[in-house]
Structure 1
Amino acid sequence: MNLNIITGNKGFVGLNLINYLNHYGKSTIGVSRTPVLDELSYKDLNIEKLNKSKSLIHLAGKAHDLKKTSEDSAYFEVNTELTKKLFDQFLESTCEVFIYMSSVKAAADEVEGILTEEVTPSPVTVYGKSKLAAENYILSKDIPKNKRVYILRPCMIHGPNNKGNLNLLYNFVSKGVPYLFGIYENKRSFVSVENLCFIINELLENANIASGIYHIADDEAISTNQLVEIIGKTISKPAKIWNTPKLIVNFLAKIGDILPIPINSERLQKLTENYEVSNKKIKEVIQKNLPLSAEKGIQKTIASF
């Protein structure tokens, strides 16, 4: 029973995870709404299929909609109800491991200090609330002794060919545009997709790791100023960091809320806020070093653009 079933297999994390697990000799099969050859549809995923599998890794979900065009019900339909259905099937089967890809946004939208698993969750967005509802359903069930259940809360995931929130900063540096917000001091956590796949592989292999919630992040949090410098170093273009007074920056952001310029209030907050996540709990149970430092992971991502 070395088969690992992966939902959301066509997404960025799913594609990387399948390649990673296959590289380490593990068989995988994807579950998709529009299956092709060698994939399952959600209707075809049943207890009989799960009985033949070691794990069900549930990556599929509705991502946070930055344009705010999605109905609230769509988040709960995908992130909560689908998870409940799959988890119920898992509990009825002989499948051993269930991994649910949640998000740090299920715990907190803003972080004071360092975010750990002990925090009392208080999500603000419907995305975070739908993820937390799925977590709470999983935690409400008794887990049989022969099964393991992991709820993973990654921070911002990046990797080769996935720009994510790094795209705006990359555009600043690559076009020689000064980064105006050097006056802000912050720390943000990221996780490279390679480190995330490494952790999932360790969870599959090590039956001694207890079920529970685990925050997933690189070892080091870095400031946005450091991020800009790393991008410049990677593409061999000197990063221009200006310490523009906050009064002027806030004025520009307010203009951006009305006119289509690269900076607005929401982007300013994303670039300058603190969001530091501890990976201490997962590191203690794995007892291995992550493959990539935060800087090396970002360099790999930027080099692929």
Structure 2
Amino acid sequence: MVLVSGANGFVGKALCAELFRRGQDVRAAVRSATGQSENIETVPIGAIDGETDWTEALLGIKAVIHLAARVHVMKDNVTDSLDAFRRANVDSTLNFARQAADAGVQRFIFISSIKVNGEATPLGRPYTAEDRPAPIDPYGISKLEAEDALRQLAEQTGMEVVIIRPPLVYGPGVKANFHSMMHWLEKGVPLPLGAIHNKRSLVALDNLVDLIVTCIAHPAAANQTFLTGDGEDLSTTELMQRMGNALGKPARLFPMPIWLLKAGAMLLGKRDMAQRLCNSLQVDISKARDLLGWQPPVSVDEALKKTALDFLLHNPHGCSECSRGKS
């Protein structure tokens, strides 16, 4: 049986559904027993922190997939942000993993982040799993520290650890900036993103879930770190154009010099967003291909179409939250 933490989240729901579809016995560990499929065995855990008791959830479990985390916070009101991330992403992960090892769990799969590698790459020089980590923000630092703690625990206990670092994940139900992008495209708003020649790796939800499922039992995955993506990198301009096509609303883009775009973003307090729109961030997924024989099963255009259909289904008249700038 497989135990999934964070099972009510964006990735967790899709993962549990896919495991069930493939006939895998799966147990969902959630903070509260709401929003999960009735076909999935659910164990309410309450708050997930360094003191959480996982005893009941771990009964009979052979593999754990740890998704629950404190994710990147755009406007963090916590006084000591790094300390908050460490408590949520390091202390809670190590507490969970220690109990898993004591319970006889054979494999612990940790969903980390490409932010462990860093924030940007030179064009055409993607990150690899063997690169020296260079996290910048508290979220990336906490994920790296959790990875290091898990590797030490694996050496001490013999429990196999698998680490997966995804870039931005998109798919049906995606929120935040990707959702906002679809909103503006669907509304036909002209955007100054028509001449950005960067390259960024993304990963479709279906592709990430497929790699996670592959890592549950594949012998070559033991104690390895994998980067994942769709296998096709897009510029911001290309992403906008292809997302617009998926929405049935061709993107209305006009060119603006990168320096002017970044300067305007800084004046508006959107420096980080401008960096993501303009800089490159590429990942090399060849390790997963070579070691696991894994290929992303869904193409970028297929995934964008699926994402767009879900968006249009749930936002038939536009998104009121986006209009108020709250997405």
With structure 1 as the length reference, what TM-score do the two structures score? 0.90
Asked if the contact 1:160/1:302 (under 8 Å) is kept, the reply is yes
User: In the TM superposition, what are the counterparts of 1:22-41 in structure 2 within 5 Å?
Assistant: 22-35=20-33, 38-41=42-45
Asked if the contact 1:230/1:299 (under 8 Å) is kept, the reply is no
Alignment match, 1:219 = 231
Asked if the contact 2:201/2:283 (under 8 Å) is kept, the reply is yes
CA RMSD of aligned residues (A): 2.1
- 1:100: how far off? 0.6
Structure 2 CA distance for partners of 1:250 and 1:149, relative to 1, 3 Å: closer
The separation in 2 between residues aligned to 1:74 and 1:145, in whole angstroms, is: 28
Which residue among 40, 45, 54 is the counterpart of 1:45?
A: 54
Structure 2 CA distance for partners of 1:162 and 1:49, relative to 1, 3 Å: closer
Asked if the contact 2:64/2:109 (under 8 Å) is kept, the reply is yes
User: In the TM superposition, what are the counterparts of 1:149-160 in structure 2 within 5 Å?
Assistant: 149-160=161-172
Aligned AA (2:169): I
Alignment match, 1:293 = 299
- 1:40: how far off? 3.7
Alignment match, 1:82 = 92
Which residue among 73, 89, 95 is the counterpart of 2:105?
A: 95
With structure 2 as the length reference, what TM-score do the two structures score? 0.84
Asked if the contact 2:11/2:205 (under 8 Å) is kept, the reply is yes
SS of equivalent residue, structure 1 residue 150: strand
Alignment match, 2:190 = 178
Structure 2 CA distance for partners of 1:97 and 1:295, relative to 1, 3 Å: same
Instruction: Please list every run of 5 or more consecutive structure 1 residues that lacks an aligned counterpart in the other structure.
Output: 258-263
The separation in 2 between residues aligned to 1:53 and 1:250, in whole angstroms, is: 49
Q: How many residues align?
A: 296
The separation in 1 between residues aligned to 2:261 and 2:105, in whole angstroms, is: 53
The separation in 2 between residues aligned to 1:247 and 1:128, in whole angstroms, is: 27
Alignment match, 1:261 = none
Instruction: Please list every run of 5 or more consecutive structure 2 residues that lacks an aligned counterpart in the other structure.
Output: 35-40, 312-327
Which residue among 121, 125, 132 is the counterpart of 1:120?
A: 132
Which residue among 63, 68, 76 is the counterpart of 2:76?
A: 68
The separation in 2 between residues aligned to 1:54 and 1:149, in whole angstroms, is: 12
- Is structure 2 residue 203 aligned with structure 1 residue 199? no
- 1:268: how far off? 1.6
Identity %: 27
Asked if the contact 1:51/1:94 (under 8 Å) is kept, the reply is no
Alignment match, 1:260 = none
Asked if the contact 1:221/1:294 (under 8 Å) is kept, the reply is no
Aligned AA (1:63): V
Asked if the contact 1:209/1:286 (under 8 Å) is kept, the reply is yes
- Is structure 2 residue 284 aligned with structure 1 residue 284? no
Mean Cα displacement is larger for which, 273-282 or 178-187? 178-187
Which residue among 260, 269, 273 is the counterpart of 1:267?
A: 273
Alignment match, 1:230 = 242
Aligned AA (1:9): A
- 1:76: how far off? 0.7
The separation in 2 between residues aligned to 1:131 and 1:54, in whole angstroms, is: 24
- 1:189: how far off? 0.6
Alignment match, 2:199 = 187
Aligned AA (2:205): V
Structure 2 CA distance for partners of 1:299 and 1:164, relative to 1, 3 Å: farther
Structure 2 CA distance for partners of 1:247 and 1:116, relative to 1, 3 Å: closer
SS of equivalent residue, structure 1 residue 214: strand
Mean Cα displacement is larger for which, 33-42 or 165-174? 33-42
Which residue among 1, 17, 26 is the counterpart of 1:19?
A: 17
Alignment match, 1:10 = 8
The separation in 2 between residues aligned to 1:207 and 1:192, in whole angstroms, is: 24
The separation in 1 between residues aligned to 2:288 and 2:157, in whole angstroms, is: 21
- 1:152: how far off? 0.9
Asked if the contact 2:166/2:203 (under 8 Å) is kept, the reply is yes
Alignment match, 2:323 = none
Structure 2 CA distance for partners of 1:49 and 1:15, relative to 1, 3 Å: closer
- 1:231: how far off? 1.6
